[in-house]
Amino acid sequence: MATQAEVRAARLAELPFETSVNAGPRNAGNRHVGGFFTSVKEIVSHRELLDLLIRRELKSRYKDSSLGFVWSLIKPLVQLLIYYVFIGQVLGAARGVPDFAIFVFAGLTLWGLYSETIATGTASIVSNGGLIKKVYLPREIFPLAATGSAVFNFLVQMVVLLAAILVLGQFPISLNLLYVPAAVAIVLIWGVAFAVLLSALNVYLRDIQYLVEVVMLLLFWASPIVYSWSFVVTAVKQHTWLLEVYLLNPISLGILAFQRGLWQAGSQTRVIEGNTVQPVDWPVYMDYRLIGAAIVGLIVLFIAQRIFSRLQGNFAQEI
Amino acid sequence: MPAHTDPALLAKAPTVVRANGVSKRFVIRKEKSLKERVVNFGRSQKHKDDFWALRDVSFDIKAGSTIGLVGANGSGKSTLLKVLGGIIQPNDGTVERRGRLAALLELGAGFHPDLTGRENVYLNSSILGLSRKQTDQYFQSIVDFSEIEEFIDTQVKFYSSGMYVRLAFAIAVHVDPDILLVDEVLAVGDEPFQEKCMNKIREFQSEGRTIILVSHSAGQVEDLCDRVVVLSHGNVVYDGETAGGLLALRESFEH
């Protein structure tokens, strides 16, 4: 009978060699298109770890606080309150937007998914430096874990949003609901693409994570979250081409689709304080635009992953 | 008597790791912020230094052998270990390997201080490549090995450093690797636990696992290894028998 050592040796003799790719410019193995699918396969084989990392992120975030997960709800609710009171009532935006609370909260919820994915994703490689320096793992797993925890927070907010819509008796059962998954998909594709790309760049230039904060602050106002699409249409009536520019931002498009799905009042004629508010004039060809944004997003994601895999060779020494 | 592998068996054992002309260069930059980079743009060559941590390192490692990587501080041992483990990529040359590899470069890498011992066992096993089912299976054995059962549901930030490394080591030895990379982490805990670790390593050897270890302890290397690779300034200066290797190591200190 063969000993354990002999059995192992025999098994090892059968295995093919795996070549570790090198970071040099001469390396071709890592460059071709198939590299993307190899990486995807590697991540899929580590899905249990991904799941544990997401749990770790969620568990550790509010560990030792007595309210725990409630905190992840308090922030968006306070945001909602601020925008509802100050922008809606004090500045009067609510006069042109029916069911302003639902409108704002829908936008905030989806925007929260995007900004949290990018912000925590960008920092993810650097903040997991201890692991990256000591163990080999497919490193894309860290921005993906950040995305996972952002998705969890999004789902919690989504429950609140749906509850609010139900309580107000506005549940929009129509084909428009199909816009909701499309909007989430677009935001996720673009969010993950940027998280993957920026997390790698952030290793080499730490300024990126501060820059991201500032840019996200700006981008918040570049999408129709606290003001409605109708305002945009009215504002640029003279130059309709500006609307096209505005819609080039996939997140604006995603948020519009999300609102179209969940904010029923937007598609109806309503009367607020004696003023008749016409239904929102949703952008034309929205379906095609969404499909386009998704396809371009996937291409960007592909390129981002390729850049990531080129840069990751030096992560362990740069962190 | 050291648990060396039978030379006859070793001779026909398959190769598990093959390094061909591996070189690794570190660029030492003296500036990091955007401002500095912009200010020094174009002159940035002056703000870089090249440092070759490894130069043209080649060797084969057969299954079941135990290799000691020794050398003075900064001779490239740990870098070589990281290259073998795929944690950093060489600038030149290739590393080929087969079989399941576990790298013990730092005990408890990936332990999260806020999670409990139990949660960290699952997380760390997963990082080292065990599935959830396997971890369930080994869990009791891991806890028994670490001897910290009563604290397993305590957050690890409250652990003493001894408890921390015990748990980490217990996880590491349950991963069932074909190739184990070890960086100075064998002598952990108190004396009885160290003894336990050493016994586990000998058990690994008798099971035909390949062990590549970095150590500064000549005694440990002599005890465990059947081959020694001596590095000096990134070059292999000796590769062979343990006794000769330790002599070469002493010589390399003089340079």
Cα dihedral A109, A114, A115, A119, rounded to 10, equals: 140
CA distance B97 to B17: 4
Contacts for B78 with CB less than 8 Å, ≥ 6 apart: B105, B183, B214
CA distance B95 to B88: 11
Residues of chain A falling short of pLDDT 50: 22-30
Q: Which residue of A has its CA nearest to B32?
A: A205
Write the Ramachandran bin of B101: left for phi over 0, alpha for psi from -120 to 50, otherwise beta: beta
> Sign (positive/negative) of CA torsion A161, A164, A166, A172?
negative
Best CA proximity match to A177, nearest among A279, A270, A288, A259: A259
Q: Contact B81/B69 with Cβ under 8 angstroms?
A: yes
Encoded tokens for A142: 């860290």
Which residue type occupies A108? L
CA distance B174 to A266: 59
Q: Which residue of A has its CA nearest to B15?
A: A13
Cα dihedral B98, B99, B104, B105, rounded to 10, equals: 10
Encoded tokens for B130: 């065990």
To which H or E segment does residue A89 belong?
none
Neighbours of A284 (CB within 10 A): 9
* pLDDT score recorded for residue A27: 43
What does pLDDT average to over chain B? 84
Burial class (CB in 10 A: 0-12, 13-18, 19+), A199: buried
Q: Do B26 and A60 touch (CB under 8 A)?
A: no
Note which residues in 115-174 of chain A have CB less than 8 A from chain B.
130-137
> Which residues in chain A are closer than 8 Å to B118, comparing Cβ atoms?
none
Note which residues in 224-253 of chain B have CB less than 8 A from chain A.
none
Average pLDDT of span B198-215: 89
CA distance B84 to A136: 10
pLDDT at residue B36 greater than cutoff 50: yes
* pLDDT score recorded for residue A87: 87
From A149-153, A314-318, B20-24, B83-87, the region with the lowest mean pLDDT: A314-318
Q: Contact A256/A224 with Cβ under 8 angstroms?
A: yes
What per-residue string of b and e applies to B226-254 under the rule 16 or more CB within 10 Å gives b?
bbbbbbbbbbbbbbeebeebbebbeebee
Cα dihedral A285, A288, A291, A292, rounded to 10, equals: -100
Q: Do A20 and B83 touch (CB under 8 A)?
A: yes
Q: Do A56 and B112 touch (CB under 8 A)?
A: yes
Facing B110 at nearest CB: one of A24, A131, A317:
A131
Q: What's the Cα-to-Cα distance from A140 to each of A43, A50, A147, A306, B160, rounded to whole Å?
A: 7, 10, 11, 11, 33
Q: Which residue of A has its CA nearest to B135?
A: A48
Q: Contact A262/A106 with Cβ under 8 angstroms?
A: yes
Best CA proximity match to A155, nearest among A58, A254, A291: A58
Facing A135 at nearest CB: one of B109, B132, B209:
B109
Residue for token pair 């065990």? B130
pLDDT at residue B40 greater than cutoff 70: no
Note which residues in 158-187 of chain B have CB less than 8 A from chain A.
178
* pLDDT score recorded for residue A193: 97
CA distance A13 to B154: 43
Encoded tokens for B16: 């598990």
Average pLDDT of span B226-239: 90
Q: Which residue of B has its CA nearest to A12?
A: B99
Q: How many residues does chain A have?
A: 319
Average pLDDT of span B181-197: 81
Give pTM, 2 decimals: 0.86
Best CA proximity match to A138, nearest among B136, B95, B87, B193: B87
